[in-house]
């Protein structure tokens, strides 16, 4: 759950061309609007800043500015590389959700985060519903989707993606009849693990750990038509201590697969 309260985060703009969007973001997510980001220095209570930078919404951790800004980018960066060179339907996440010829499921990503796995699944043809309960993360996702829709290279992919701002634990049924539910809850890092990436340090400071993650599994199993897929660190116990039907193991992580019913052999 979150470590912050909403009074510790504000919205500002870098360039005057972004004033309207900054005001809109602040109003939509019920956040304090501070105008020009330079005025953040007068706000000692703030921990985070959502800054609008040429129509791009970015998250800054104010006490560690060197960590840089977090944004959702479905056009360039890691997702672009993964889209082009990630291995297509041969990659582990595709196998875990059951992608095969004639079966391209509707996936609910019930812990959407920055949306990267959602984008990968959408790039493989899946209809993907993202659910995110943290308003700041949902704001980043919404802006990332809006920016991506005007890029011809990925517009058809993000057209298969939609966002629901809600808690998956309480409101998972808001997603319309998903075939597969995908869960990737935040998990506490081992104290001796390698330094967490800069981006993840900002994200974890904002979001904290999903201490209630075990509560995701039962509603997911009730709702998913075919299966629930849970991404876990290789050293972590299964979600809710429930053994999966099968697991796909990778170097640092694994996908635990809970099968409700078999995927039909021939689907049109």
Helix (H) or strand (E) holding 206: helix 198-207
Are 79 and 120 contacting, i.e. CB atoms less than 8 angstroms apart? yes
Are 51 and 14 contacting, i.e. CB atoms less than 8 angstroms apart? yes
Is 2 annotated to bind ligand? no
Can you say whether the dihedral through the CA atoms of 80, 85, 87, 88 is positive or negative? positive
Is 162 annotated to bind ligand? no
Is 116 annotated to bind ligand? yes
Axis-axis angle for helices 198-207, 135-148 (nearest 10): 130
Is 179 annotated to bind ligand? no
Distance CA 159, CA 57 (A): 20
Query: Residue 52: exposed, middle, or buried by beta-carbon count in 10 A (0-12, 13-18, 19+)?
Result: buried
Is 245 annotated to bind ligand? no
Look-up: residue for tokens 């990778």? 250
Is 184 annotated to bind ligand? yes
- From residue 53, alpha-carbon distances to 15, 18, 252 in Å are 7, 7, 35
Is 212 annotated to bind ligand? no
Distance CA 166, CA 153 (A): 29
Structure tokens at 56: 């791009």
Look-up: residue for tokens 């672009």? 80
| Residues contacting residue 174 through CB under 8 Å, at least 6 positions apart | 131, 164, 166
Would you list which residues are annotated within the binding site? 116-117, 132-133, 167-168, 184
Would you list which residues are annotated within the binding site for S-adenosyl-L-methionine? 116-117, 132-133, 167-168, 184
């Amino acid at each position: 759950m979150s470590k912050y309260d909403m009074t510790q985060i504000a919205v500002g703009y870098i360039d005057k061309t972004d004033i309207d969007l900054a005001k809109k973001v602040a109003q939509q997510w019920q956040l304090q609007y501070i105008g020009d980001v330079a005025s953040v220095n007068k706000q000692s209570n703030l921990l985070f800043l959502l800054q609008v930078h040429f129509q791009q919404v970015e998250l800054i951790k104010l006490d560690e500015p060197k960590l840089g800004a977090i944004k959702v980018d479905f056009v360039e960066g890691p997702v672009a590389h993964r889209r082009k060179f990630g291995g297509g339907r041969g990659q582990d996440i595709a196998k875990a959700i059951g992608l095969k010829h004639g079966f391209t499921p509707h996936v609910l990503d019930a812990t959407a985060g920055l949306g990267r796995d959602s984008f990968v699944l959408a790039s493989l043809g899946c209809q993907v519903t993202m659910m995110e309960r943290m308003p700041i993360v949902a704001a980043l996702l919404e802006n990332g989707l809006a920016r991506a829709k005007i890029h011809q290279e990925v517009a058809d992919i993000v057209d298969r993606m939609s966002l629901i701002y809600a808690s998956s634990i309480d409101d998972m049924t808001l997603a319309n009849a998903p075939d597969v539910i995908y869960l990737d809850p935040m998990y506490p890092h081992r104290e001796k693990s390698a330094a967490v990436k800069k981006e993840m340090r900002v994200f974890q400071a904002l979001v904290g750990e999903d201490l209630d993650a075990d509560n995701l599994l039962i509603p997911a199993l009730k709702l998913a038509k075919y299966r629930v897929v849970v991404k876990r660190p290789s050293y972590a116990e299964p979600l809710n201590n429930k053994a999966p039907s099968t697991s796909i193991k990778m170097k640092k992580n694994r996908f635990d697969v809970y099968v409700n019913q078999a995927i039909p052999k021939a689907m049109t």
